[in-house]
Amino acid sequence: MNKALQIALGIVTSVGGFLEIGSITTAAQAGAAFGYQLVWSIVLGTLCIAFLVEMSGRFSACSRHTIPDAMRERFGAVAFSIPLIVMLAVSLLVLGAEMGGVAAALELATSVKLPIWAVPVAVVSWGLLWKMTFSTIENGVSGLGLVTLVFAVGAVKAKPDYSSLLDGVLPTMPHSSPAHYWFVAVSVLGASVSPYLYYFYSSGAIEEKWDTSYLAMNRAVAAIGMSFGGLLSVAVLVLAAVLLHPTGQDIKDYHDLTKLVTPVLGRPGFWLLVASLGIACLGATLEISLSLAYLVAQGFGWKWGEDLEPSDDARFSLTYTLLIIAAGLFVLFGVDPLALTQISMALTAASLPVGVLPFLILMNDKHYLGEHTNGHIGNAVVLLISLMAMILAVVSVPLELIGGGG
Amino acid sequence: MIRLIAEVLDKQVVDANGDNAGRVDGMILEVRDGAPPRVVAIEVSPITFLARFSRRLAMWYAKRDARLGHGRGTPYRIPWESIQRSKLSVVIDRAADDTPINALEDWLRANIVDRLPGSGS
């Protein structure tokens, strides 16, 4: 495949796979509660994940190691177990939220209650992972994920006030309800900078046998793909800012998500929104399950690979099977996907440095990267944003809980 | 010169067929009178892995593992002469399927994975 086509495909994959329950609901909540004021949190989060994704692709292309593989080797079993456990715990909640998102889309489409969908969603997700290859999953789901472009169409049709939108790019202090403002900012950051995404990317680079000739493509895909992905999040925020903010409406549960597109695009808008939610969350379900199975298998040195038959990597395949069952229980017991999303996004933000700091150490290690180690800018951007996310989370989450969302 | 902790411990183990076969969970050094210590073997075993967190946990696991048959209940060792080191991994001279390294993998394959539809067995 020639490079231009590969770049195009990479960008399509990034854009189609960018939105999921976390980015959709946090951006919608930000727009509903604070208009355009929190656009900066999407910008910062997107900047951080673009850098992280570029780094993880570069890391695997140069070192032929995945991130968990190198972490275990470089830091040893005991130190490696900390990010392993934290990531598994937090991402399991995120996985529950994504599966809830698929179930929510199915409920919106059929009026059949959400918990009924737990088993079908789990079985279909598991079946796709069990039978499909890595590139089929990545390209298939992300291709379908382009339906999320409906948010961009909706946002333009909603005729936003572009100058206020641009004002929101720069961080400002809250005009009202400061605790809630910072809490929503933290959720947006947690939703944008999902650790599973760059772990997934590093394993993908190994599955697709990247070498240093992929570095330029990797950089282009990370920069362009993530920027367009971030714009989709901004589009969701814009829709909420235009349609919900002026009348003081909020996104309280997943039924409220239909208020986002339907008013500008009518009945087709409703169906496109439902499809967007379902496909985006299904894509994330597959990526998170795979990503965590990679994490465990690589950390313990098991045989792994989405292109192998399950019989050839039994522990790897059973790891994602168990994760899907465990996360499916949240849906089965009727846990509200939006509540689960909020908790898991805040926890993601709070725990960002746990995964990011050891990764940055690796990215500056000549043993792995030779002449391709990180520059100062990359180090500074990722370090500052992830530390900021953690500090904001530690401060704002208790305040939000005390204030009851006031 | 080898830097044992940096270059051997926790490295990926690859078997004679080129398949991943766990990680170097521990190393065994022989202390000799009048001569420097010598590395005699690496260990690839959950018992060794757990012992790095807690001896008690490792002993608890070893007791249960011992019930699974002859040669179990102690960490699996591979003599230093039987390994080769490469940049990415430690290559052993045997197939993981013939060792306890893949015991759990084999059990899960036979008892769960291959009984599910479409496992490719």
Which chain A residues have a beta carbon less than 8 Å from that of B112?
A: 314, 318
Whether residues B105 and A73 touch (CB distance < 8 A) is answered with no
Please give the CATH architecture assigned to the domain spanning B4-115.
Roll (2.30)
Bridge partners, A143 (sequence order): none
Strand ranges across the sheet with B20-23: B20-23, B12-14, B89-92, B83-85
> Is some CB atom of chain B closer than 8 A to the CB atom of A303?
yes
Specify the length of chain A in residues.
406
User: Residue B76's CB: how many other CB atoms inside 10 A?
Assistant: 20
**Residue A245 belongs to domain spanning:** 3-403
B12: tokens are: 């990926």
β pairing state of B77-79 and B83-85 = unpaired
Interface mutation vs chain B, best among A64, A69, A72, A73, most B CBs within 10 Å: A73
**Do the Cβ atoms of A107 and A121 come closer than 8 Å?**
no
Mutate to test the interface with A, among B3, B11, B15, B23 (most CBs of A within 10 A): B23
- CB-CB contact of A199 with A67 (8 Å): yes
Domain ranges of chain B: 4-115
Q: In the predicted model, what is the mean pLDDT of chain A?
A: 94
Q: What is the C-alpha separation between A170 and B108, in angstroms, rounded? A: 53
Alpha carbon dihedral A404, A106, A271, A224, in 10-degree steps, equals 70
Checking if the pLDDT of A87 tops 90, the result is yes
Indicate the residue of B5, B20, B113 with minimum beta-carbon distance to A303.
B20
Q: Which of A65, A301, A309 sits opposite B20 (nearest CB)?
A: A301
Q: What is the 3-state secondary structure (H, E, C) of A89-124?
A: HHHHHHHHHHHHHHHHHHHHHHCCCHHHHHHHHHHH
Displacement of CA A238 from its chain's centroid (Å):
19
| Cβ atoms < 10 Å from Cβ of A21 | 30
Q: Using the predicted structure, report yes or no on whether residue A265 has a pLDDT greater than 60.
A: yes
As to burial, measured by CB atoms within 10 angstroms (0-12 exposed, 13-18 middle, 19+ buried), residue A120 is middle
| Residues on chain B touching A131 (C-beta within 8 angstroms) | 118
Complex prediction ipTM: 0.94
Do residue B113 and residue A78 have CB atoms under 8 angstroms apart? no
What pLDDT is recorded for position A405?
Answer: 46
What is the pLDDT, as a whole number, of residue A404?
Answer: 56
Local structure of residue B74 (DSSP, 8 states): S
Instruction: Tell me if B108 and A314 make a contact (CB, 8 A cut-off).
Output: yes
Single out the residue of A362, A379, A377 nearest to residue A60, CA to CA: A362
The per-residue pLDDT for range A33-80, each reduced to its tens digit, is 999 999 999 999 999 999 999 999 999 999 999 999 999 999 999 999
Tens of pLDDT, residue by residue over B72-88, are: 899 999 999 999 999 88
CA distance A100 to A217: 35
Contacts of A76 in chain B (CB under 8 A): 5, 9-10, 52
Q: Are A72 and B10 an interchain contact pair (Cβ–Cβ within 8 Å)? A: yes
Q: For A353, what's the count of Cα atoms within 13 Å in the CB-facing half-sphere?
A: 14
Chain B residues in contact with A303 (beta carbon < 8 A): 19-21, 105
Tokens, residue A51: 């850098």
Tell me the backbone φ, ψ of residue A19, rounded to 5 degrees: -80, 145
Question: Which residue of B8, B45, B99, B109 to mutate against A (max A Cβ within 10 Å)?
Answer: B109
pLDDT band at B101 (very low <50, low <70, confident <90, very high): very high
Q: Which residues of B touch A129 (CB under 8 A)?
A: none
Structure tokens at A133: 């290859």
Tell me if A98 sits within 8 A of A289, measured CB to CB.
no
The four Cα atoms A333, A338, A343, A348 give a dihedral, to 10 degrees, of 110
Q: CA of A78: how far to CAs of A92, A94, A356, B10, in Å?
A: 21, 25, 17, 10
Number of domains chain A contains: 1
Pairing label, strands B83-85, B38-43: unpaired
| A301 CB within 8 Å of a chain B CB | yes
* pLDDT the model gives residue A1: 63
B21: which chain A residues are within 8 Å (Cβ-Cβ)? Answer: 301, 303
**Portion of chain A with pLDDT greater than 90, in percent:** 85
d(CA A371, CA A364): 10
Q: Quote the pTM value.
A: 0.95
CB contact A65 to B (< 8 Å): yes
Å between A301 CA and nearest CA of chain B: 4
**What average pLDDT does this structure show over B102-118?**
93
Helix (H, G, I), strand (E, B) or coil at B66: helix
Task: Sort strands B89-92 and B83-85 into parallel, antiparallel or unpaired.
Answer: antiparallel
Select the residue of A76, A127, A315 nearest B104 (Cβ to Cβ). A315
B105 contacts on A by Cβ (under 8 Å): 302-303, 314-315
Phi first, then psi, for residue B64 (nearest 5°) are -70, -40
Return all residues near B57 (Cβ < 8 A) that are at least 6 apart: B50, B51
Q: What is the CATH number of the domain that holds A314?
A: 1.20.1740.10
Query: Regarding beta strands B26-30 and B20-23, do their DSSP bridges make them parallel or antiparallel, or are they unpaired?
Result: unpaired
CA angle B39, B41, B44 (to 5 degrees): 135
Tokens of A183: 């809490």
One-letter amino acid at A141 equals V
User: Alpha-carbon distance B44 to B21, whole Å?
Assistant: 8
* pLDDT tens for each residue of A225-258: 999 999 999 999 999 999 999 999 999 889 999 9
Distance CA A20, CA A200 (A): 15
Give the residue from A206, A217, A274, A188 showing the smallest Cα distance to A69.
A206
Q: Which residue has the higher pLDDT, A288 or A196?
A: A288
Q: Rounded to a whole number, what is the largest CA-CA distance in chain A?
A: 58
| Cα–chain center distance at A287 | 9
Average pLDDT over residues A255-269: 93
Mind listing the pLDDT tens digit for each residue in B6-53? 899 999 999 999 999 999 999 999 999 999 999 999 999 999 999 999
Q: What three-state secondary structure class fits B78?
A: strand
Which residue on chain A is closest to B49 by alpha carbon? A77
Cβ–Cβ < 8 Å for B96, B102: yes
The C-alpha of B19 sits at a distance from chain A's nearest C-alpha, in angstroms, of 7
Lowest average pLDDT, out of A1-5, A77-81, B12-16, B99-103, goes to A1-5
Q: Do B120 and A72 touch (CB under 8 A)?
A: no
Of A77, A314, A315, the CB nearest to B49: A77
A322 contact B CB<8A: no
Has residue A403 got a pLDDT over 80? no
Pairing of strands B89-92, B20-23: unpaired
Count CB pairs under 8 A between chains A and B.
72
Kindly determine whether residue B108 and residue A65, on different chains, have CB atoms separated by under 8 Å. Answer: no
